[in-house]
Amino acid sequence: MSGKEGSGGFRKRKHDNFPHGQRREEKENVNPSSPLMTSFKSFQLELDTRHDKYERLVKLSRDITIESKRTIFLLHRYISAPNGEEVLNESEVKLDAVRRKIKQVAQELIGEDMYQFHRAISPGLQEYIEAVSFQYFIKTRSLISIEEINKQLVFTAEDRKKQQT
């Protein structure tokens, strides 16, 4: 056993040498209007805002995932359903609702670097693509191209204005 570890096996940390009251006094002596504190407050606000946006995107992605999975389960009933066209129509309605959620994601990402939020939205988008691909395969017996999927996910400024009113 080395001299650093002591009897309990724990190493002493540097701040353990300071009396407990001294750290509290240092906090009281900090000038809240100093340039350093002002900078840290602005960094805190920026990080909190980014974190809140990330959490909103995670929630939207979960909603997209859930609705896409429900659409996939619905499409699995296509073969056994007496009226297959009704199942396809219902799946289209569900996918339209998912596209509206994806539009909300797109609006959250306006002016942002999408790659900073990629991990928040990727699972939902993957599930959506699976649902759209499955629906397309049932309809056409072929695979959908990425270009066709992207066409469905192009949102214009008009779409944005409609949603705001």
- Which residue ranges make up the annotated binding site for Mg(2+)? 130
Annotated binding site: 130
State how far the alpha carbon of 119 is from the alpha carbons of 53, 57, 61, 123, 129, in Å. 13, 10, 10, 8, 16
Residue with token string 């939205």? 121
127, amino acid identity: E
Burial (CB count <10 Å: 0-12, 13-18, 19+), residue 155: middle
Distance between CA atoms of 130 and 57, rounded to whole angstroms?
A: 20
